[in-house]
Structure 1
Amino acid sequence: MQTDSTRKKASPEVRAARLSLAVAVVLLGVKGLAWFLTGSAAILSDALESIINVVAAGFAVVSVSVAETPPDERHPYGHGNIEYYAAWLEGTLILLASIGIFWESWDKIFHPEAMPHLGAGLALLVGAGAANLWLGLRLLRQGRRSGSLTLEADGRHVLTDVWTSAGVFVGLGLVWATGWLWLDGLVACLVGVNIAWAGVGLVRRSVSGFMIESDPALLEAICAVLRENRHPSWIDIHRLRVIKAGRQIHVDLHLILPRDMSLAEAHGQVEAMEALVRSRLGASADVMIHADPCSNVRCPVCDADPCDLRRSDTVATPVWSPATTGDPTQKD
């Protein structure tokens, strides 16, 4: 039997994902009621996106929970990549929803229908939009704070829904004021364009994660902290690589040290550099540094003093940047 002391408390990310799912289910019901009252194609398009919100929020709960699972023998780099799959799925579902919206709405431009109870439907839409605005900002803030692509994607999707609801409200307000029923179908089609654009962005970001695309901002953050705290024995670094698996960050690089340095001293310098990188990226960052011995060709860029092995004077020490340290083909 679980007790309060043994029961594992859900993380803020998991709680945020569960909240998103609960709110999405409620708002789907609200928008469904608004469509039932009005028969509006624009409100139906908004409700269709809410169905995607529910599905996406469900996947977010699962993916955020799995992403927090510690590394194991089969997954030595952890389980964070599941967040890219969740973001890809959400983006794909958004694109499918946009196609469905066009399919349903195009005919309404040329064959509009009367919309009873439009005022009540608009009131429900305003309430749903306000709730989504609060939820989307909360998810986006939590996702950025924790580095969770899933929560950030879910937050952006929810905020897209807010803009959708706002556009629908304005369009149907014009229908109410002018009696131009064909605007209902036109607004629904515009909603479809907006949703499709958001879906394309999510798919592109998730594919970048699958392909382990380099992150210039992360590389620069690492170079900056090493430049600011450079030790004289750190002759140069190269082959700097960063892999993001969801929220987990893996860093590896080669560090050139004086070749007369003892193994214990070299190990100490490696640990010092690893600690510096973690101080910038977070304690959970996985940092692996390979130590290389220097050669005579490094003397012009070496600042180590004194050095009994020096063959030429120091000319200038390297300025570390993503451009000078990130070439994966550079030899030792």
Structure 2
Amino acid sequence: MNRQMRLVLLSLITGIVLMLIKFIAYFITESNAIFSDAAESIVNIVASGFAYYSIYLAAQPKDENHPYGHGKVEFFSVFVEGGMIFIAGSIILIKSIYSLFSPQPITNVEEGMYLILATSFINFAVGFYLMKRGKALRSLTIEADGKHLQVDAYSSIGLIAGLLIMKLTGLAWIDLALSFVLGTFILFNGYKLLRKSISGLMDESDTEVIEEVVTILNANRKPVWIDVHNLRVQRYGQELHIDCHLTLPNYYDLNKVHDCISDFDQVLNENLHSKTEFFIHADPCMPECCHYCTVENCPIRSEPYSKHIEWTTVNVTKNMKHFRDR
């Protein structure tokens, strides 16, 4: 069992235990707000179960039918988790509206608060750990699972605060208000996860990774790398696929071009914290490149070097050499 699967298994076991505690709290209090919190725990369990399977599938090697591997399933996992959260939020809002017209008396509020407080501490601790490990492992599934648990912990803290106010004031409507607020909060977080997963499934460019790539390239820039453009980054699970155009001196032979591309590949693979596959297209330089080219003793230079062009997320992603962007 790999590290990611162990982390998801931790989330799954935690979710089952906390769900049981929350439903015990609901049954002894009959609180709509506590029911809202318990209902989300069911989502945690279902999402963690699917995440466990997706981590297993993403770890499978490339094959003829999946030449880029199985990493995209992580985006689907996040989509399922976001969808489940969205559905849970909708159910909570529906029950809140129903209870508005058919209220139930609330009992044993203090005991219920203690149980929910215990679950919030556990959820926050496990969620924090999963998010930290998810970022280190570059796993969207682990990170999303950790974020979900932390959101659950925050909502539980808000729930406790509201129940305490209700106990002190005796205002029963606070329970319904809390349930409605929690449902809306859960809906919003489900939407954010859905948005993130759809972006990945639609191959939306990963701006954070592009910024990281540009920083690494500027720090390790070589004179013969005259410019980089048409840079695109796609994430497949823990792996990155990067393609770009690299402008090189047009008098280089094929062996020299191959060496330059290998250096470019090595620089990024040594500094990025993900396994990276490159597709680099070599472009020959043109006379218009001379004013920003820093190659020394160039035999074909048509004008002296006069301008430094910093590589940015704007000019490296455009499909044009940098002199065309003046």
TM-score (norm: length of structure 1)? 0.91
Q: Decide which of 224, 230, 234 is 2:225's aligned counterpart.
A: 234
Deviation of residue 221 (structure 1)?
Answer: 2.0
Report the identity percentage.
Answer: 35
- CA distance in 1 between counterparts of 2:272 and 2:248 reads 24
Alignment match, 1:205: 196
- Equivalent positions of 1:59-78 (< 5 A) are 59-78=50-69
- Equivalent positions of 1:251-262 (< 5 A) are 251-262=242-253
Unaligned runs of 5+ in 1: 1-9
The answer to whether the Cα contact below 8 Å between 2:224 and 2:249 also exists between their aligned partners in 1 is yes
Alignment match, 1:326: 317
Alignment match, 2:23: 32
The answer to whether the Cα contact below 8 Å between 1:110 and 1:182 also exists between their aligned partners in 2 is no
Alignment match, 1:161: 152
Task: Establish whether residue 88 from structure 1 lines up as the match of residue 79 from structure 2.
Answer: yes
- CA distance in 2 between counterparts of 1:85 and 1:72 reads 19
What letter corresponds to residue 305 of structure 1 in structure 2?
E
Q: Decide which of 248, 258, 262 is 2:239's aligned counterpart.
A: 248
CA distance 1:161–1:283, change in 2 (3 Å): closer
CA distance 1:330–1:81, change in 2 (3 Å): farther
- CA distance in 2 between counterparts of 1:212 and 1:329 reads 21
Helix, strand or coil for the counterpart of 2:275? Answer: coil
Task: Establish whether residue 291 from structure 1 lines up as the match of residue 282 from structure 2.
Answer: yes
Q: CA RMSD in A?
A: 1.9
Deviations 1:79-124 (A, max 9, x none): 1111111111111111111111111122434543222332222221
Alignment match, 2:178: 187
More displaced stretch, 222-231 vs 153-162: 222-231
- Equivalent positions of 1:5-154 (< 5 A) are 10-154=1-145
- CA distance in 2 between counterparts of 1:283 and 1:120 reads 47
- CA distance in 2 between counterparts of 1:21 and 1:34 reads 20
Alignment match, 1:280: 271
Deviation of residue 63 (structure 1)?
Answer: 1.2
TM-score (norm: length of structure 2)? 0.93
Deviations 1:12-33 (A, max 9, x none): 2111101000110111111111
More displaced stretch, 151-160 vs 281-290: 281-290
Alignment match, 1:175: 166
The answer to whether the Cα contact below 8 Å between 1:236 and 1:255 also exists between their aligned partners in 2 is yes
- CA distance in 2 between counterparts of 1:237 and 1:61 reads 39
Aligned positions, number: 323
Deviation of residue 305 (structure 1)?
Answer: 2.2
Task: Establish whether residue 309 from structure 1 lines up as the match of residue 300 from structure 2.
Answer: yes
The answer to whether the Cα contact below 8 Å between 2:226 and 2:247 also exists between their aligned partners in 1 is yes
Deviations 1:203-232 (A, max 9, x none): 111111122222333222222222222222
Helix, strand or coil for the counterpart of 1:66? Answer: helix
Helix, strand or coil for the counterpart of 2:242? Answer: strand
